[in-house]
Structure 1
């Protein structure tokens, strides 16, 4: 049985994800690429233990992590970005995957209210993701744009405008299935 998120748990989830983001970006930019994955694992342990939506969260992770790996690997292979601390160089590094893990674990918690608002979710994805890439690039040096950053930012914007509502839909489908099982349907 799942429980409704409280304002405190929503805030804790949002702050936890931001801590993962900063640990990943700062770590990668400063030769500590393990810091983001470590923070993401701690965040995941907390959310999966106390978040009350373990099955839904695991379902989202099963979709979000391969999708995130494919997208960020695409940006690298298309010659749009170079990530700090790549390993191996032609794919999305572990610290980027740490951010995907953290983001996926916000969708049933601090971002759950977007579930019924796909256009708002798309708009936030379209604006937020490129800003995150810019911050990682210009503020921390964890991402480097190859040439003009505009093509990369447009690609990221378009992808995230699709990804955020899609992942919220995945979470909704799983919650509906669990609800049907609990109700005995």
Structure 2
């Protein structure tokens, strides 16, 4: 499931960013929503996983609204109103949410590392989207600073939420010190 999660989330990310870059944000959003729907459908506890996706999307909406209000980041398409973030960006937050209980599960006991990873990977991912034309840095230095601070603060919160809304059961491996032949 980890490989499928990573591959499908990346496909959804590229579809959303390239869709926005080519003035087709709805196509990218539809692809991302399909990936999220697949993930929830195959989850052990779909309601828990759906709740996590919804919470992360709400947090993402708030975060992206702040970025829009600060005016250091611009978007080519998908903004229903100038003071709101594009809907496809909120879809990206949903795609990120489906990775929290699967590929990013290892961060759970390391919230400090989640902050460091967030401060590096969040802005790097955004910068990749800028290079592909899905967004633009109007004022690059303040925009990157916003992203670094925002992701450093949000990533531990998101990892913590993933522990509270875990819809993916991971099978525990039971180890014993007794060799198999001793049971006979």
TM-score w.r.t. the length of structure 1 is 0.84
Q: Which runs of 5+ in 2 are unaligned?
A: 167-184
Q: Does 1:152 align with 2:146?
A: no
- What SS does the corresponding residue of 2:24 show, helix, strand or coil? coil
For the pair shown, the structure with the greater C-alpha radius of gyration is: 2
- Alpha-carbon separation, structure 1, partners of 2:15 and 2:82: 20
- CA deviations on 1:89-136 (whole Å, 9 max, x unpaired) are 211111101101100111111111111111221111110111111111
User: What are the within-5 Å matches in structure 2 for residues 140-179 of structure 1?
Assistant: 140-147=132-139, 149-175=140-166
The match for 1:182 is none
For residues 164 and 136 of structure 2, the distance between their equivalents in structure 1, rounded to whole angstroms, comes to: 37
Give TM-score scaled by structure 2 length: 0.85
* 1:142 counterpart SS class: coil
- In the alignment, which residue of structure 1 is the partner of 2:8? 16
5+ residue gaps, structure 1, are: 1-8, 176-185
Return the match for 2:102 from 109, 133, 147. Answer: 109
Counterparts of 1:18 and 1:174, CA distance in 2: 22
Aligned residue pair count: 166
2:64 equivalent to 1:50 = no
The question of whether the paired residues in 2 share the 8 Å contact of 1:56 and 1:108 is answered with: no
Superposed structure 1 runs of 4+ greater than 6 Å apart: none
Task: State yes or no: 1:80 paired with 2:72.
Answer: yes
CA distance in 1, matches of 2:18, 2:164: 35
Aligned equivalents of 2:48, 2:119: Cα separation in 1? 24
Root mean square deviation, CA, Å = 1.5
| 1:53 Cα deviation after fit | 3.5
Separation in 1, partners of 2:80, 2:15: 17
Within a 5 Å distance, the mapping from 1:19-38 to structure 2 comes to 19-38=11-30
CA contact (8 A) 2:49 2:165 kept: no
